[in-house]
Structure 1
């Protein structure tokens, strides 16, 4: 293992198979977010899950500790610890950009990136013609609300992010489990950050998955990412649903996409039939056909 993990906790592996699927949840969530997907994925694959520890104590001498680079280092350290190579890594929300950075640093770890509800930059930039979905004043107002009354902010934010009333209780519980000071600093990292430059360096095959009615990451962001990632083969899939958490709201649509990724890499389908491939392993050059026009 190359480094000590700061925020990866409760790592566990389920299932078995020649390929590991790493499920990395996003801000405010926990590994329970994947519960609807794990039974199916683990039938023919090893699945690695973990929690980002958003309740960790603060370090007074490390004011800049929350960076995408450090989350990427943690992901690398976890995969090294578990001896994972050539994985299909599903990064949700903030984890998508951490996975992109990690794939540039350690490409042998990543056979395919699934970037779920990803955004490299949330703030619009009129001079660059970039539409991230938010104005700076709106982001500042959100951060002020978090700092003022974190619990009240969660109870207002989560229903909009969930998109489905049935998903609200699970998300509220995980959001409220965050330490407010940590939650605020990580939110600043996410919503004020700009990770667009890393897209230029990604070479791993990617499937960008967006929800057509996601207030946080509109489909226009997927289009921008696809244009920018000139060094990688990139497909875009649009889920017909609402909210920022398709794992909870539209799990079957997401599973169909993930199984498509795995099938095109030569993994068994739901009937145990394996596509022909020389060594039976993962083909890092395989791609999912683009089914969505955006």
Structure 2
């Protein structure tokens, strides 16, 4: 299923991969034959999975890492010229898997990481047994035939607020994004948002809002499970229907009876059994 034993690879590639593992704080925990990669979304880091890992680690080997934009990563490693599209994040993910000698895995991606997983599986379908897409959206901007949840004017207001006063923006955005009345989850999300350097946070937000992956969904050939809360101000349920209709692989949908964009923070006991079920199929 996967392994961390030595395989064939150049010393140079190994060196670059090992450096990346260190930069992105890669950890492998748990035991079992199944390898599961947990990839966090914008504004969090791998600690967002802390309440989920105990449910999975007994029978899964779990790979955790931080996106390069996360506040837990030295901001000197964020290259503004390189990370202009999601493809550079895909490069990082694939290099992590190759360096760890993982040849088959399940991938759980939250929000932007769901899209990173989609792009990765199009590029290397051999690596992925299944994608579990949590709070996923191929496009946040509305157009005449598609409801992504945001008009251009609203996106510009969000970016303007981030630029004008990042602290004030975080204090307003965190509870809105968490959605559910779970103060501990709001505090946790606020903490990781505050850890991000504001200029990096703004740059990554622009990258995400400018992304449009609708045209590549049909190229996905591995099974997918879309997991979504019943009410998410960031990703409307119409996006779930769109993903289900346009993903190329066999796709199932799980709607969680809670609200908000971060159920792994706000409702882990509700999300964990759904993940375990998705990973067992």
TM range (shorter): 0.7 to 0.9
Deviation at 1:254, TM superposition (A): 1.4
Aligned to 2:268: 251
In structure 2, distance between residues paired with 1:154 and 1:21: 31
1:213 aligned to which of 217, 231, 236:
231
Aligned to 1:101: 119
Q: What RMSD in Å do the two structures reach over aligned CA positions?
A: 1.8
Aligned to 2:162: 146
Aligned to 1:261: 278
Deviation at 1:81, TM superposition (A): 1.2
Aligned to 1:291: none
In structure 2, distance between residues paired with 1:87 and 1:59: 27
State the aligned residue count: 260
SS at match of 1:239: strand
In structure 1, distance between residues paired with 2:57 and 2:83: 34
Q: Which runs of 5+ in 1 are unaligned?
A: 265-294
Matched, 1:51 2:69: no
Q: Is the 8 A contact 2:83 2:89 kept in 1?
A: no
Matched, 1:160 2:172: no
Query: TM-score, normalising length from structure 2?
Result: 0.88
Assess, with a 3 A threshold, how the Cα gap between structure 1 residues 212 and 85 changes in structure 2: closer, same or farther. Answer: same
1:25 aligned to which of 11, 23, 40:
40
Q: Is the 8 A contact 1:89 1:99 kept in 2?
A: yes
Matched, 1:77 2:95: yes
Deviation at 1:7, TM superposition (A): 10
Q: Is the 8 A contact 1:209 1:238 kept in 2?
A: yes
Q: Is the 8 A contact 2:82 2:88 kept in 1?
A: no
Assess, with a 3 A threshold, how the Cα gap between structure 1 residues 91 and 7 changes in structure 2: closer, same or farther. Answer: farther
Assess, with a 3 A threshold, how the Cα gap between structure 1 residues 261 and 159 changes in structure 2: closer, same or farther. Answer: same
* Aligned positions of 1:148-227 closer than 5 A: 148-163=164-179, 164-227=182-245
Query: TM-score, normalising length from structure 1?
Result: 0.84
Q: Which runs of 5+ in 2 are unaligned?
A: 1-8
Q: Is the 8 A contact 1:99 1:113 kept in 2?
A: yes
Report runs of 4+ in structure 1 exceeding 4 Å deviation: 1-8
